[in-house]
Structure formats: C-alpha cells, structure tokens
Chain A
Amino acid sequence: MKSKKQLIENIIHGVFLILGLITVACVLVITIYLLVAGIPAINKIGFMKFMFGTKWAPTASEPAYGILPFILTSVYGTSGAIILGVPVGFFTSVYLAKFASPKMKKIVETAVSLLAGIPSVVYGLVGMIVLVPAVRKVFNLPDGASLFAAIIILAIMILPSIIKVSMTSLEAVPPEYEEGSFALGATPVETYFRVSVTAAKSGIVAAIVLGVGRAIGEAMAVIMVSGNVANMPSLFQSVRFLTTAVSSEMSYVSAGSLHQQALFSIALVLFFFIMLINACLNFFLKRDKTN
C-alpha cells in the first residue's frame, strides 16, 4: 500500500516537473530559433550597415536593410510614452494607495483593470478613427498618423501596469514609517512623498521598467496609428517601430529570402532590447527584496 502511494507521489512529481520544463523549453526554443534565424542576415548585410543604416528598402532593385529608423522610433516612442505616462500613473498610484476614499479607490481601480483588459487592436482602432483625425485637425497637418499619435496611445496603454505595480509597492510600505513621520509633525503630503514614496522607490522603478517593456513590445495598436513608413523619426511624421517592421512585412515576404531573414534579425534586435529591460526589472526587484 505504502509503495503504491509513493509511486503515485513520484508520478505526480514527474508530471509537475515536465510541466515546469515546458516553459523553460519554450524560452530556449524561441531564443535559439531567433539566434539561428536572425544572425545570418546580420552577417550578410554587415552589422554596422544593418544597425546603423538609415534606409530600409527591402523590395527595391538595390535593397537596403538599415534598421536605425526602427530602433530610434522604438526608443523615441517608448521614451515619449514614459514621459507622458509615468507622471500620470505615478500620481494616480499615490492617490489610490494613500489619499483616496475606499469607494473612490474601488471605482478607479476597476477602471484601471478594465483599461488593462482592453485588447490592443481596440486601442489601435479607436486611435485610427478618433485620435489620428483629431491630431490632423488640432495640429493642422496633412495627415495625423504619426509618432505623436503612437506616443499618446502607448502612454495610455502603459498606465495600468505603472499604476498597479507602484500601488502595490506603496501599500507594502510598513505603516510604522508613516506613523513615525506623522508623530514628528509632518503633513500627509510630506509623509507620503518623502517617506512612503522613498521607501517604495524600487517598486516604482520596477513599475516604470515594466511600462517600458510593454511600450517597446506593442505592435498592434501602433501599426494602426503610426503610419508605418520607414522614415527617420520625427514627431509629426509617419514612422515605423521595431515591432511593426516585423509584423507588417512578414506575411508577404517570400520564404528564405534575405528580406525574410532580415525581419528575423529585427526580431532578434527587439528580443535583445526586451531581455535588457527584463534584466533591469530583475535587478530592481531583487534590490527591493534584499532591502
């Protein structure tokens, strides 16, 4: 009887181990595949020409494969979204964690959760039909699809992750810190911004990094509002991001061509950026734990 129980126990352990390994295997397979598929084109085109070339014309008779416009667009777009989104998200999370009445907090929290649940294609569609024409009229441009429109959409899309993660870390600040500050005669605003925010610093930085990750990896929403032309980035010009560079041409490219391999190389560059951001995130979260 006992050995039978032991056997079942072992089998279940084995099953769980396999399930756990599936995740690891997926990550490994994707990483290896991207490296194998992405490196040949970089070698063929030349690393400098690929990373710092300013012209992308893969179907031209003399093809050019420079992805600097995409890299800069992704960097500018993400920075823009952070500049607009972080202040709003940060102050919202401070308000929700410290100032808001329970009822208000519940309403806003529900709204934030809903915002997180809206599919990105819906952001894109609303952006395309409402935001793009609005940008065209407000700034008196010939066309509204631009880096600016993409930044606005991205800023809204990263709000939920910034708000939720910073809120959690603000709420985790031990109440003794704040009580001590009150006891010394500090006002609530002084206490929350000087004591609570300082104590929750790494969590808030982690929230911002998470937002960066979300913004740089977004494809569907920006493809619909950014105009998608491989220009060097400028605020009111049509631009193309790293993500959309891959997705917009992948479906039409002929298999095995240098063009297709170059798209994999773009994916590899994007993957590298996201790995970098994840490493930052891990760094901040670990520091949070050791403190």
Chain B
Amino acid sequence: MRKMKKAIIFTLSAIMAISMLTGCGGGGEELSGTVSTDGSTSMEKVIGALGESFEGNNEGVTFTYNPTGSGSGITAVAEGRCDIGLASRSLKDEEKAEGLVETVLAYDGIAVIVNPENPVEDLTMEQIADIFTGKITNWKDVGGADGEIVLIGREAGSGTRDGFESITETEEACAYRQELTSTGDVITTVAGNPNAIGYASLASISDEVKALKVGGVSPSEETIKDATYAIQRPFVLVTKEGTDLSDVAQAFFDYITGPDANAIIVEAGVVPAN
C-alpha cells in the first residue's frame, strides 16, 4: 500500500512540474515554453515557416499553430486561449473596441485564378468587379471563348473573400455559383472547370490554375511590394491590450516583426511589412 502511495505522489508531482513548466513558460535566461498561435488558414505557410525557424533558434521552445480561420483566431486571443492571433484582414472597429491590437506582419496578394485552358490573360479591376457581380456573364465579352462564367468564391466571413470583395468593391454583390470553405477547394474546383473563375491567396497558387493579370500587372512579390498589383491585403498579428505576452511569446513576436524574419516571410510567398 505504502509503495502505491509513493508512486501516486511521485506521478502527481511529476504532472504538476510538467504543467508548471508549460503553463508559465519558464522565465529563465534560456527561452523555453510554448508559443501558441491561432487563426487564419491563409497564413499557414508563413507562420509555419516562422515558427519552425524560431524553434530551431531556441531549443526548448514549442511553437503551435491552430488553423481555425481569422475570426476564430481573433476570438481565441480575446478569450486568452492563445498568445498571438492571426488574421488575414484588418481588425474591425468592434474588435478593436474589445481591446485587441493589430500589427501588420506582411502583405498578401490575392490572385484571380482561371482554368489554364482559358485564353483570357488580363482583366481590369472594372471587368473583375462586373464579372463577380454578374454584369458580365459570358467569357466572350472579355475576350475569351463562348461559355458561361462560373464564379467560385469563399464562404461569408472568410478573410480571402472579405479581402477580395473589399478591394474590388463588390461586397454583398457577388453572385457566386459556389461558396467553398478552403483555398484548396477553390483551386481544385477552378482546375476542374474550364469556365470557372475564382480567387485565392498568391502564396497558395499552384500550376493547376492560371493567375490573371490585373490591369496589365501580373501578381508577384515585386508588384505587391511596390503596390502596382491592386488586389492585396494585410496579414495581421493580433494581441490583447493590457495583457503582457509571456517572455517566450514576446521574443517570438519581436523576432517575426524584426528584420531577421524577412527572408523567411519572402520565401513563404508574401511581402514583409516591416
């Protein structure tokens, strides 16, 4: 019996020690603990690369990323469920009123994508807006083959949709044929339908689809950086005012907004803001 008691006490104290370690994030000279991020699925590539390199530089640090979507990420910060929230849109006024603070990490270009079989290469902003609002319904009106345009969009609340619609000024007016719930689904669907047009963040575009030029400018790092490519949006880090980040989370925040991280951000296909 006594042996058992000892074993139980030992296990309990071990569990407590572990939970203290992870809970308080260490606090010594050496960085250790967990940085948790939560939010935008569009930011997966860039935040994943940054987290990996931060983990590589600091042994004993665990980085977690929960791809839930911008809205969920913002909620998670507000409720204190993660250190840093990730949003692929600027904060709304009501969110700022809750004491949330945004820091722009990078700019992401939203590419307008069509099937590679589609002969159309270039559209103006007006043409894009007219297509998505249903004023232009046939590809032959914009220099393509005869065929009904199929609009592929994202669900209400998606950061990409919000970004695309606000930039092209088509909010509440888009007559989508399909509203899909992820960037990957949009690309797969556009790749499977020669008359489809959709949008997705430039970082996740693959060869299966063709990114159109907008007003003669093709989407690329350079054109997004010098703001000649018109359809772009911010990638935002969300923190809560008045709540200090843990040492390790603060170190991570400083690292990714500092100059050392720019090379990694560029490699992830987006344009650093700092």
Q: Which residues of A contact B (CB under 8 A)?
A: 57-61, 128-129, 132-133, 136, 142-145, 223-224, 227-229, 238, 240, 247-249, 251-255, 259
Contact = CB atoms under 8 A, between A and B. Distances in A.
B177 A145 contact: yes
Interface in B126-183: 147-150, 155-159, 172, 176-181
B196 A251 contact: no
A129 B188 contact: yes
A129 B192 CA distance: 7
A227 B178 contact: yes
Contacts, number: 90
B38 to A, nearest CB: 11
B92 interface: yes
Nearest to B155: A248
A59 B188 CA distance: 26
A175 B148 CA distance: 61
A228 B72 contact: no
B71 A254 contact: yes
Contact of A142 (B70, B148, B180): B148
Q: Which 3 A-B pairs have the closest CB atoms?
A: A252-B157, A251-B69, A142-B148
Contacts of A238: 176-179
Contact of A143 (B157, B181, B185, B196): B196
Contact of B193 (A58, A136, A223, A251): A136
Main secondary structure, interface of A, reads loop
Contact of B178 (A59, A61, A129, A143): A143
A200 B190 CA distance: 48
Contact of B155 (A136, A144, A228, A255): A228
A128 B195 contact: no
Contacts of B78: 255
Given A128-B189, A142-B150, A228-B155, A254 B180 contact: no
Contacts of B180: 228
B191 to A, nearest CB: 10
B158 A252 contact: yes
Contact of A59 (B148, B156, B176): B156
A252 B92 CA distance: 13
